[in-house]
Chain A
Amino acid sequence: MTKNLRIALPKGRLLQPCLELFQDLGCAGLMGILSSRCLLWEETEQGLSFMVIRPADVSVYVEHGAADLGIVGRDVLREGQRDVYEPMGLGFGRCRLVVAGPPEIRHENLHLRHRLRVATKYPRLARQYFLKQGISAEVVSLSGSVELAPQVGLADLVVDLVQTGLTMRENDLVEVDEIISSEACLIVNRASHKLRLKEINHLMKRIANVIGDRE
């Protein structure tokens, strides 16, 4: 089998560190992907092909085998609930998915609320979290600027990512609980892992070495 292994990378905040990782691995010209119009970037010498797609789509491509491997934040991965292997965390892109709200809500018993509205980009994880707590929350699914929601009365709480906590503080929100801690994860298509085990293990070993050297 001479076909390149296909790797799906996420647009956005994880893209730069992903490209650096594979550059350190020997894909010398990979940064060219940023200025290229090509959707599929070949690094023939390394036997790898790259595609850059929306973060939420990475696990979809990998589950269906359109990409053999992918890199995606664990937060996005859990939200998507795709059937893929996730053999290693990559140590970058660390952040946490938290429940947050205005300071006064911190000491409130949420079970006593007649209605609780939660704004989030992670409707599935948010719903799951509140169900587990036995709280029937109304989840409002947004695609951005979630921190605004409590200020304008769209929601009582938010479920959102924090990296430094700065955005939260600026919008007068305090953390109530952590749902998951996230980092960039390598994911692998199940069938690819079975059919191209040696190549994939070799690649994973090289990735582990690069990450190990950095620490």
Chain B
Amino acid sequence: MTYEGHFKAALPCGVRDLFLESAAKLSKLMAIWRQLFESWAYTEIIPPTYEHYDVLMVGSDADFERRIFRVLDREGNILALRPDVTTQVARVVGTKLYDLPLPLRFYYLTNVFRFEEPQAGRQREFYQAGLELIGAPGSEADAEMVAVLIEALQQVGLRGFQINLGQMGFFRAIVAELDLSTAQVEELKRAIDRKDEAGLGKSLREWKVDDGHAAALRELPRLCGGEEALERAASLAPNAGALQAIDNLSQVYDMLSAQGLAEHLVIDLGEARGMDYYTGITVEGFSPGLGFSICNGGRYDELIGLYGRPLPAVGFGLGVERVLLALEEQSQQEVHLAPHLLVAAEAASMGRVTLQRLRRRGLKVEVDVMARDEAGLLEHGRVRGVAWVIVDGDEEGALVAKTGSQRWISWDKLEEMLAR
């Protein structure tokens, strides 16, 4: 259905308008997360929406290349809409903030753009909320990142979610000792990515990978579970680097368990995916009934150095629309758009001091600007779902209609009643 006199209503593929409940729900999550991130002493970073394409590509995931929105400006420069914020933070930190005391803690709440088929819970423009903890190389920083992530999901009321913890260092350390070409490593990653154990085994045999390394790689897709998966991985680790990766994961797991967060955690070394820039711990979050992940993140110790001063860093990003879908799946996340109070124009001017105080307390006060009569005002209040309607007022007090009855109440009394 379209309005008869409509003017071009179509939107390009991949974007949408958010208004009323959909906008309010998105903002509500953002507001909760803003407060949470600030309470952990993170400060906001607001990088520009677009940058020079080649600058952004320095640190971008290879997979992004095809999926970047490119724009030509009038001088012929190739610009790119940001496909993620982490790369931008790396550029800012590496080139501008290199001599600030460490660590740096940044959060962002913003839109990103990817030129891909719109997916479940993700348009071409979508929103991300995330943080980056920069300058700290150790397990404490990793654990803080995961702890804040879990708290972020808890605070919006999501239940039964699961965070899978992986470690890219394990795969990297094993592969580093093998004499494989980049293409062969990519093939290994692809097989692990599909959990294609047969294909993985075949490639390893074909390339004559020695038994120790092959055994660890072959088992990767199945290295998933609780602490026993860590023990198994440690026993398979063919070198010090791989063992170090498992040590880091064990430490993070223990620290989070000590905070009572173990119920959300699953050890999962069976992923070689994620951003190319991940070098250590990785996280990916899932919620029951949702066929895709709701957040991901990890350690990226080599990214900032591509722009300037090398600094270790770890961070995560939450898919805001996807978390909203997960909450809807659990019938969570209600927002109330209706005002608390609807006031006739004249009464509003009489009681403006009281109404201002109520607004400052966070109440939503709507003033009638349509010159409605009493019946019209009551009807409008009913349609809008307003509990309190003030149909008349003088200097002393207001005529309040509430659930069918009307009575005069002094402004002070009204404030007292509504403030409760």
Contacts and interface: CB of A to CB of B under 8 A. Distances in A.
Contacts, number: 49
A57 B120 CA distance: 15
A194 B194 contact: no
Contacts of A182: none
A65 interface: yes
Nearest to A1: B288
Nearest to B294: A191
Contact of B290 (A65, A84, A86): A65
A64 B292 CA distance: 7
Interface residues of B, number: 21
B195 A63 contact: no
Contact of B291 (A86, A87, A88, A192): A192
Contact of B195 (A64, A66, A87, A191): A87
Nearest to A198: B225
A89 interface: yes
Given A64-B120, A194-B162, A197-B224, A86 B288 contact: no
Residue in B195, B225, B268, B291 with the greatest tally of chain A CB atoms within 10 Å: B291
Given A86-B195, A87-B197, A189 B291 contact: yes
A191 B292 contact: yes
Contacts of A188: 195
B293 interface: yes
A2 to B, nearest CB: 12
Contacts of B290: 65, 191
5 contacts: A64-B120, A64-B292, A87-B195, A190-B293, A197-B224
Interface of B: 120, 162, 164, 194-198, 221, 224-225, 266, 268, 284, 286, 288-293
Interface of A: 1, 63-66, 84-89, 188-195, 197
* A-B complex: 9 closest residue pairs judged by Cβ atoms: A65-B291, A85-B195, A87-B195, A86-B194, A191-B286, A194-B286, A64-B120, A191-B291, A189-B291
Given A86-B196, A87-B196, 8 more contacts: A1-B288, A64-B291, A64-B292, A65-B292, A191-B290, A191-B291, A191-B292, A195-B288
